[in-house]
Amino acid sequence: MDDNKDIQFASDLRNVITRLIKKLRKQSPTGSQLSLTERSTMALLDQNKKMLPSELAAAEMITNQSMSQVLNHLFELGYIIRTASTTDKRKVNISLSELGESTLLQFRHERNEWLANAIAIACTPEEKKVLQQAIGALSKVIDLK
């Protein structure tokens, strides 16, 4: 019986987290012009500072050809910079431009602002404390290898 309750709890939690993620994706007017993969690619570049297109494709689990399309769109928008590798002129490093960095910060700010407002409106002080406590537990689950 406990196994069934654990599985139902896991299912309920997964559903709520999935719905929250979908809702957050819609809360960035700035980010609405980009696909999820484009936004995720920008976040990877923010974390790693520069990457090869093949590294980005592998991280996003898409083909090199699909990543090329993503990078072309981000380049057209002025969000990325392509720089020839100093060790191998055949390779190109990709990094965020200043505009890309500021746009990524804007996406994050818009989503954070929406979530903070939603929590303030929808949750009691006690519920806010429960959410704060859940961050630690959820982090443990995420970090589990």
- State the Cα angle at 123 between 120 and 129, rounded to 5°: 95
Instruction: State the average pLDDT over residues 94-111.
Output: 95
Sign of the alpha-carbon dihedral angle for 39, 45, 47, 51: positive
Domains in the chain, start-ordered, CATH in brackets?
1-33+98-145 (no CATH), 34-96 (1.10.10.10)
Q: Which of 94, 66, 64 is nearest to 80 (CA)?
A: 94
Burial class (CB in 10 A: 0-12, 13-18, 19+), 9: exposed
pLDDT in tens, 16-31: 999 998 898 888 888 7
Instruction: State the average pLDDT over residues 22-51.
Output: 90
What is the predicted pLDDT for the residue at 83? 95
CA–CA distance, 18 with 15 (Å, rounded to integer): 5
Write the DSSP symbol of residue 61: T
Q: What is the pTM of this model?
A: 0.80
What is the predicted pLDDT for the residue at 25? 84
pLDDT in tens, 69-89: 999 999 999 999 999 988 888
What is the predicted pLDDT for the residue at 87? 87
Query: Residues of the chain with pLDDT > 90: what percent?
Result: 79
Query: Residues of the chain with pLDDT > 70: what percent?
Result: 99
Burial class (CB in 10 A: 0-12, 13-18, 19+), 17: exposed
Mean of per-residue pLDDT scores for the chain: 93
pLDDT over threshold 70, residue 1: no
CA dist 56 → 10, 34, 79, 104, 115 (Å): 31, 16, 15, 17, 29
